[in-house]
Amino acid sequence: MLFSEKKIDPREYNPLALAYIGDTVFDLFVRTKLLEGGNRRVTDLHKRAVKLVNASAQAEIVHIMEGELSEDELGILKWGRNAKVNNHPNRSTIGEYHLATGLETLIGFLYLEGKEERLCELLEKAYLNFNKE
């Protein structure tokens, strides 16, 4: 794991805790990919990041990567999707928010499991497919 020497077992955490870390890992991935595109003004980078790091975009990414997931990964995504949340952003539907939470749960799980290679593989494919515009 990137920032901790202590092994954290993601099975010991609830899906919203995994989504909590998964959200940050996803944000870091997107921002890193944007920097790979060359030096830009920070406001431009932020505008591009916001297009991907939101519930609606993440729900679309779930649809892009669903066929790439193993049964176990799909189970983790559904575990997070079905977690009880108390609210959701105004700019997304509750369904989009649940899918985004599922994605973040899967990302957090893979990250804490130390499966960064698999995590990067999935995120790279989703990022490339999402950014075809």
Residue 28 CB coordination number (10 Å) = 13
85-122: buried (b, 16+ CB within 10 Å) or exposed (e) per residue? Answer: eeebeeebeeebbbbbbbbbbbbbbbbbbeeeeebeeb
Q: Which of 9, 23, 44, 72 is catalytic?
A: 23
Residues 115, 82 contacting (CB under 8 angstroms): no
Residue 23 appears among annotated catalytic residues: yes
Active site positions, annotated? 23
